Chain A
Amino acid sequence: MPLLVVTACRSSGGPVLIGLAGPFTDPVGSPMKRAAELAVEQINAQGGINGRPIQLIERNDFANSDSAVFVATDLYNAGVVAVVGHLYSAQTVAAAPVYNSGEEPVVALSPSSSAPDVSALGPYTFRLCPSDLAHGAALARWIRNRLGLERGAVFYLNDEYGRGVRETFAGEFGRLRGDLISIDPYLGDTPDVAVYLDRLAKNGRSQFILVAGNRNEAEQVLREARKRNVIVPLLGADGLEGIEQGGPLAEGVYVSQAYLPTLDRPANQRFIEGYRRKYPDAGLPNQPAAATYDAIYLLREVIARAGTRRAAVRSALAAIGTTSPAFEGATGRVAFDSLGDVPASEVHIGVVRAGTIRLAEGG
C-alpha cells in the first residue's frame, strides 16, 4: 500500500521532472538557465502541465565532455521525463549515448548544438537550432556573393563545433571557387593565435578571417590582428554570441544567427518582454536562451498530450511538424525531420553595430 501511494503521488499530483544541462557559469550558458527558469515560472503560474507543476533539475556540465557524461547519467537515473541540453555540440555528442541507451532512453533536446554530427546521435536526440552545415554554408555564400571576397583564412576551435563549422564552410566556399590560404586550429582554453596572424601579416593576401569558434576567441583574433595591422572583415557563426558587447573592437563583425532578439515574431516579443521583466539587468537574451525557452514550452505541449512516459514523449516530439502541427516559438517555426533536426529554420547574417547585432543588409 505505501508503494501505491508513492506511485500515485508521482504519477498524478507530483511535479513533472525536467532536466536542464548546460554550462550555466559561462556567459553563453547563463541566459539559458534564466530562460528555462522563466518558462517554468510562467507555465507553473498557469497551472503547470495538466495541473502538475514542472520541476527543473539543473546540472552544470561546465562545457566539459566528461562532466557531460556524468551529468547525463545522473539525470537519466533521476527519472526526468526529458532533458533540455546540452548547449554545446561537444557535450551533446559526448552525452548522447547515455540518453539513447538503456531500458528507458530519454529525450535530450539541445537548444544550440549545431554540429553536423548531432543529427545522427540517436532517436532521442533533438535540437532546436539549424546545423552548422547551414551556418557554414550561409557564411560562405555571404562572403562570396554579398561581400565578393575570394581569399581568406580560417581559424577554428578544435572541437566538434569548430570543426563542423570549418568543414561546411570550407566545403561550400570551395564549391563557390573561393580559396582558403590557411586553416588553423586553436584550443578554447588557450586561444593562442599570434603565430597564425604573424603568418597572415607576412603574406598579406587574406581578404577575410573566419573564426569557427566562440566569442572570446574571436575577440582574441581581433586583438592580435589589430596589433599586426591586419584589417580585414571578421566573420563567425552563432558561437560568436555576445561579441556585440565587446565594444569598438567588435564593430563590423559579421555573425550568422539562428535567432536575433530583434525578430518581431509574436512568440519572440512575449519572450523578450518576460525576460526583460524578470531579469532587468541581464541584457537581451541570446539564441540558446530563446531556444531553451521554446524547448520548455514545446515539452509542456508534448507532455500534456502524451503523458510522462519517456518513450511516449519521444514519439509525440518526433511527430511535431509532421503528424502534429508545427510549434511556433520565439526562435521560429519548429518542425522536426526524421533525424530530430529543424531543417526549415532560417539562418540570418547579422552585423555588430554600436553594441547590438543587427540584421545585415540582405542577411
Chain B
Amino acid sequence: MLASLRSRLRAGMAVLIGLVILLFSLAVKTIRSLDRSVDEQVGLLLQTTTIGNGLVSAITTEIRAAEQYLDQPAANVKADFLRNGDSAYALQRRYRDLGSLTTSDRYIINRIGATQARLEVAYAHAHALTDLGRRDDARKLTGDTRPAADTLIGDVQALTLAQSSRSLVRARELKTEAEQRRALLWLIFFLSLAAAVAIALVTDRWISLPLRRLVGAADRFGSGDLRPVRLGSMPTELDRLARAMGDMGARLREVVGAVTREANQISGSATDFSAMSEQLASSSGEISTAMVRMAASAEQQVTGMRDADALLLSLRQAAESNAEAAARVVAVGERIRDLAAHHQTDVRNAGETLLGIREVVQTSATQVKQLARLSESITDFIDLIKQISSQTNLLALNAAIEAARAGEHGRGFAVVAEEVRRLADSSSAAAEDVTKTVEYIRSQVREVSGTMELGSAKVSGVEGVAAAAAGGLEQIAETVAEVTAAAAELARQAAENRRIVDEVGRKTSGVSHTASEHASMSEEVTAAAEEQTASTEQMASSASELLQGAHRLSTLMGEFKT
C-alpha cells in the first residue's frame, strides 16, 4: 500500500487535508448551528416584544377610547373601542401561537383575555349609562374598573418580561454551548496538529533514511568499491534504484574479474613470447656467427685450394650445422605463430568483454538518468502540495474574515482559522524541506552520473589498449611468417650447400670455382641472417608493447575492489 514515495506522500497529505477539512466543516457547522439558534432566539424575542408592545398599545388605546366615550359619546369613538379590543384579542391569539410558551404563560394569556372581556363589559355598561344620561353612575363604574385595567397592563408586561428573561437564559445557555464547542474544536485542532507532526516525521524518515543508505552505496561505487551492498527495504522508486545499483555492481565486478583474468593471461603469454623472441634472436646470432666462420673458411678454401679434402670436410660440417640451425628457426617460428594465433583469440575475447562493460555502463547511465527524471516528478508533486497549502492559507484567510464578520461568536473560529493558516504554513515549509531533500538526491544522482561517465571513459581506454594488443599480435604473426619463410630459404640453401659440397668432393677440378661460389653464397646467407635478426627485434618490441598493455589493463582493473 505505502511502498512508493509518491503513495506515502499522498497518504500523508490526504490525512492532513482530511483533518483540515474536518476541522473546517466542524467549525462551519458549529457557527451555523449557533447562528440558527441565535436567529431563533432573536426572532422569538423580536416577536414577543412586537406582540407584547402591540398588545399594550391596543389595550391602552381601547381603554382611552372607552374613557373618551364617557365625555364625548360619538359613534366613531365607540367603533375605535371595539376595533382596538378586537385587535388586542388577535394579538393574544398570536401570542398563544408562539412556540416558547409554558403552561403558566397560557394561564396568563387566558387571564389577560378574561380581564379584557370584563373591562369591556364594564365600559359597555358605562357607555349605556352615559347614553341614558346617568353620567355619575358611569363615572362610578369606570372608577371601580381602573385597578382591573392596571392589572391587565401589568399582566401583559409581566408576560413579555418573562419571555424576554427566558430568551436571556437561553442566550446564556447558547454562550455556554459555544464555549463547549470551542473546547471541542481546540481538542480536534491539537489532535490534528499532533497527527500532522507525526505524519511529517514519519514521511521524512520514510524518505531520508533509504536515501541516505542509497547515497552511501553510490559513494562506495564511486570510490571504486564494487563489493555487494545490503540496502534493506525501501520505497518502490528507491528500491528500483537500489536494485539497479546492485545489478550494476555485480556486472561491473564480473567484468572487472574477467578483464583482470584476461590481462593476467596476456601478460603471461607476452612474457613467454618475449622469451621466445630472445631465443630466436640468439639463434639468429648463432647463424650469423656460423656464416662469418663459413665465409672465413671459404676464403681459406680459395687461398688453400690444395688442402681441399680437409677443408671440404670442415665445410660439410659447417653446412650441416647450418641446416640444423635453419630447421630450429622454422620450428621456433611455427611455435610463435601458434602462440600468436592463440592470443589473438584471447585478445578478441577481451575486446568483446570490454564492449560488454561499455554496454553495462551505458545501461547504468540510462537508469541514473531515469532516476533524475523520477526525482523531477517528485518535484512536481511537491509543487502540488505547495499549491494546496497556499490555497488552504487563502481559505484560512477567508475564514478569518468570515469569523471577523461573525463578531463575538466568530472569535473562537478566528483563532481556529489562524491555526489552520499556520498549519498550511507548516505544510508549505515541510514541502520546502522535501524539495531540498529531493534536490540533494538529484545532486547525488548527478555525482553518480559523473562517476558513471568516468567509468565509461576508462572502459573506452581499455578498449583502445585491447585493440593495440590485437594489432601487435597481428604484426607478430606477420613477422613470424617472414622469419619462417627466411628460415625455409636458409634450410633450402643449406641443403643445396651440402649437395654442392658433396659434388665438390666428387669434382675436385671445380673446387676453386665452387669455393668462390661458396664465399658469395655465404655472404647471401649472412644477409638473410641479418634480415632475420631485424625481424626478431621488431617482434620483441611488439611483445614488450603487448606486455605493457597487459600491465596497464591489470593496473586499471586493480583499481576496482571486487
Q: A residues engaging B (CB < 8 A)? A: 65-66, 69-70, 73, 93-94, 97, 101, 117, 158-160, 163, 167, 182-187, 192, 195-196, 198-199, 202
B117 at the interface (CB under 8 A from A): yes
- State in angstroms the CA–CA spacing of A73 and B103 once bound together: 9
* Extra A-B contacts (11), CB below 8 Å, given A159-B117, A196-B125, A202-B131: A69-B103, A93-B93, A94-B110, A97-B96, A97-B106, A158-B120, A185-B120, A185-B121, A195-B128, A198-B128, A199-B128
Q: Check B311 for interface membership: any CB of A closer than 8 A.
A: no
Do B110 and A199 touch across chains, with their CB atoms under 8 A apart? no
Q: A256 vs B106: C-alpha distance in the bound complex, in angstroms?
A: 32
The verdict on B147 contacting chain A, using a C-beta distance below 8 Å, is no
Q: Are A167 and B86 in contact (CB under 8 A)?
A: yes
B71 proximal to A (CB < 8 A) = no
Instruction: Kindly state the separation between the CA atoms of A101 and B82 in the bound complex, as whole angstroms.
Output: 33
- Contact A158-B117, Cβ < 8 Å, known A101-B99, A195-B125, A199-B128: yes
B413 in contact (CB, < 8 A): no
Contact residues in B for A182 (Cβ distance below 8 Å): 128
A160 CB, min distance to chain B CBs, angstroms: 8
Q: Is the CB of B132 within 8 A of A69?
A: no
- Chain A contacts of B132 at CB under 8 A? 195, 198-199, 202
CA distance A13 to B120 in the complex (A): 54
In the bound complex, do residue A66 and residue B107 qualify as a contact, i.e. CB atoms below 8 Å apart?
Answer: yes
B117 and chain A: residue at smallest CB distance: A158
Residues of the B chain whose Cβ atoms lie less than 8 Å from the Cβ of A192: 121, 125
B residues near A163, Cβ cutoff 8 Å: 86, 89
Please give, as numbers and ranges, the residues of chain B lying within 8 Å of A94 by CB-CB distance: 96, 106, 110
* B15 on interface, CB distance cutoff 8 Å: no
What's the tally of chain B residues with a CB closer than 8 Å to chain A?
Answer: 24
Bound Cα distance from A163 to B113, whole angstroms = 12
Q: Is the CB of B128 within 8 A of A69?
A: no
B193 at interface, CB cutoff 8 A: no
- Bound-state Cα–Cα, A198 to B132, Å: 8
**Residues B97 and A184 in contact, CB atoms below 8 Å apart:** no
Cβ-defined contact, A183 with B82, below 8 A: yes
Q: A69-B103, A198-B128, A199-B132 are in contact. Are A187 and B93 (CB under 8 A)?
A: no
Q: Are B96 and A185 in contact (CB under 8 A)?
A: no
Please determine whether A93 and B96 come into contact, CB atoms closer than 8 angstroms. yes
A185–B128 contact, CB under 8 A? no
In the complex, the answer to whether A186 meets B128 with C-beta atoms within 8 Å is: no
Q: How far does the Cβ of A95 sit from chain B's closest Cβ, in whole Å?
A: 9
Q: Which residues of A contact B124 (CB under 8 A)?
A: 184-186, 196
Which residues of chain A are near B118, meaning CB under 8 Å? 158, 187
Query: How many angstroms from the CA of A52 to the CA of B106 in the assembled complex?
Result: 36
Give the docked Cα–Cα distance between A101 and B110 (Å). 18
Q: Closest approach, in angstroms, between the C-beta of B344 and any C-beta of chain A?
A: 104
Q: Report the bound CA distance from A185 to B99 in whole Å.
A: 31
Return the CB mask of B70-102 against A: 1 if under 8 Å, else 0: 000000000000100010010001001101010
Query: What are the nearest 7 A-B pairs in CB distance?
Result: A158-B117, A65-B110, A195-B128, A184-B124, A199-B128, A185-B121, A185-B120
Return A333 CB to nearest CB of chain B, in Å: 30
Residues on B with C-beta less than 8 A from A66 are: 106-107, 110
Across the interface, do A196 and B93 meet the contact criterion of CB distance under 8 Å?
no
Which residue of the partner chain A has the closest CB to B141? A195
The 9 sampled A-B contact pairs (Cβ below 8 Å) are: A69-B106, A73-B103, A158-B117, A163-B86, A184-B124, A185-B117, A192-B121, A202-B131, A202-B132
B244 at the interface (CB under 8 A from A): no
Of the candidates A69, A158, A199, the one having the most CB atoms from chain B within 10 angstroms of its own CB is A158
Q: Does B129 contact A (CB under 8 A)?
A: yes
Contacts of B97 in A (CB 8 A): 97
- Contact check, B82 vs A69: say whether CB atoms are below 8 A apart: no
Residues of A within 8 A of B107 (CB): 66, 69
Chain B residues with CB under 8 A of A183 = 82
Residue of A97, A117, A185, A187 contacting most chain B CB atoms (<10 Å):
A185
- Contacts A158-B121, A159-B117; is A184 near B128 (CB within 8 Å)? yes
B101: A residues at CB distance < 8 A: 97
B387 to chain A, nearest CB (A): 50
Contacts of B121 in A (CB 8 A): 158, 185-187, 192
Residues 226-250 (chain B) with a chain A CB within 8 angstroms: none
Least Cβ distance of B111 to chain A in Å? 8
Give Cα A185 to B110, complex, Å. 18
Contact A187 B106 (CB under 8 A): no
- Quote the shortest CB–CB distance from A292 to chain B (angstroms): 24
Residues of A contacting B86 in the complex (Cβ-Cβ under 8 angstroms) = 163, 167
- For the complex, give the distance between the alpha carbons of A160 and B93 in Å: 10
Q: A158-B120, A187-B118, A187-B121 are in contact. Are A196 and B106 (CB under 8 A)?
A: no
Shortest beta-carbon distance, A155 to chain B, in Å? 10
Residues of B within 8 A of A101 (CB): 99
Please name all residues of chain A whose beta carbon is closer than 8 Å to the beta carbon of B96 when the two chains form the complex: 93-94, 97
A202 CA / B129 CA spacing, docked (Å): 12
Task: Give A167 to B125 CA distance when docked, in angstroms.
Answer: 20
Chain A residues whose CB sits within 8 angstroms of the CB of B113 once the complex forms: 65, 159
A157, B412: Cα distance in complex, Å: 58
Nearest Cβ on chain B to A137's Cβ, whole angstroms: 18
Nearest CB of B to A108, in Å: 15
A187 lies within 8 A of B128 (CB): no
Tell me the minimal C-beta distance from B117 to chain A in angstroms: 4
- Report B-chain residues with C-beta under 8 Å of the C-beta of A195: 125, 128-129, 132
Q: How far is the CA of A196 from the CA of B124 in the complex (A)?
A: 8
Are B93 and A117 within 8 A (Cβ)? yes
Residue of A nearest to B103 (CB): A69
